[in-house]
Amino acid sequence: MTRNRKKSRLLAGGLAAALLLAAAPLHAGAFADVEADPNAAAIRSLEQAGLLSGGDGKFRPAEALTNAEGIALLVKAFGLNLDRIRFIQAPQASQYYPGMSDSAWYSESFLIGAALGVGLPKDVKPGAPMSRETFAALLLQAMKAADGGWSGAKGEAPEDDSAVGSAYRDSVLELIGAGLPLLDPSGNFQPKKAVSRSDAAAWVEGGRKLVKGIKPESESPSPVSPLAGVELTTAKLADGVVKVTVSAQAPNPGYGIRIASIRFDGGQAIVSVAVVRPKPGQMYPQVITEVSADTYVDEAYTAVLDEAAASSGEPLKGGILPGKNAR
């Protein structure tokens, strides 16, 4: 891989060919087929924010959301970008998703999502329908990746909880606890069913309201106190990509951790992290909780923790450790 010292920044947006994302905001009330939809208010709100578009003046709310549309919507709706990650050479979506065209309208969104932990399996089919449980998990990841982060308590399990995949269950419960309209009138989530464009809009609008107004963290790396036992692990993926995971122990489930920046020095990728503070006004049990955040670097570099994180102290003592990502 050819290296250069020019910092490359990739911004979300500008996906003119996207079905869900408009190159320019539509006029309010442009959709002619949403008035009778139960999520009409949410659709109109996202439409007025310039986050939704359709074809022939229609949104087609009952149609299934595709993987490409889902990733593009989340990246745009939560303002996700790679500003905080500095690259020696501009990365490409095909590095994370072999076989994906880097010129496809959705490639930039897939790249941004993958780098920020809002990703799909490497063999994903962009045009295939996205399941409700998959979109719920990606939505929560996008909320946590947004400035200021998000953390909330888990709600009651849906009536069809046994049908929810184990990899998605915590995300679904956390979104239910946050009050998002994930359940049908019978209390079922229907996890394997394709998420409709209407429901996707309602969930995203709800998620945006939850993270709106959270004070962003400082742009500069900040100490991770009161987190303790911060450590970095890596796992080699395909095509020369290494997944970097930074984990720590928090005094309660309200805290989180995020990747603040990555800087490259010689053969090292120096990872800086910052604490995500509990949401104001929320009560959390004083239970030691493991939290983590992921990012990705080229295998040519050795990922190391920034000194501020490495000196954050010994693991916390006492309490109960629910397990990895238990927040």
pLDDT digits (tens, 9 = 90+) for 102-156: 999 999 999 999 888 898 998 999 999 999 999 999 999 999 888 666 778 899 9
Of the ranges 1-5, 62-66, 77-81, 244-248, which one carries the lowest mean pLDDT score?
A: 1-5
pLDDT grade for 225, boundaries at 50, 70 and 90: low
Six-digit token string for 31: 């959709």
CB 241 within 8 A of CB 230: no
pLDDT, position 88 = 60
CA angle 151, 198, 186 (to 5 degrees): 75
Q: For residue range 248-263, what is the model confidence (pLDDT) as tens digits?
A: 888 888 888 888 777 7
Integer Cα distance of 311 and 223 in angstroms: 9
pLDDT, position 109 = 95
Integer Cα distance of 135 and 190 in angstroms: 12
CA angle 133, 168, 107 (to 5 degrees): 65
Residue 222 has pLDDT above 60, yes or no: no
Q: For residue range 15-64, what is the model confidence (pLDDT) as tens digits?
A: 333 334 433 333 344 788 999 999 999 999 999 888 887 667 889 999 99
Q: CA torsion angle for 217, 223, 226, 232 (degrees, to 10)?
A: 100
Integer Cα distance of 207 and 75 in angstroms: 13
pLDDT, position 272 = 83
Integer Cα distance of 306 and 72 in angstroms: 31
Q: Does pTM top 0.85 for this prediction?
A: no
Short-list 224, 222, 243, CA closest to 232: 243
Integer Cα distance of 142 and 72 in angstroms: 11
The arithmetic mean of pLDDT across residues 229-247, rounded, is: 86
Q: Which residue has the tokens 């995971």?
A: 245
Q: For residue range 75-106, what is the model confidence (pLDDT) as tens digits?
A: 999 999 887 776 666 788 998 899 999 999 99
Residue type, 66: T
Contacts of 185 by beta carbon, 8 Å cutoff, 6+ apart: none
Mean pLDDT over each residue of the chain, to the nearest integer: 79
Residue 208 has pLDDT above 60, yes or no: yes
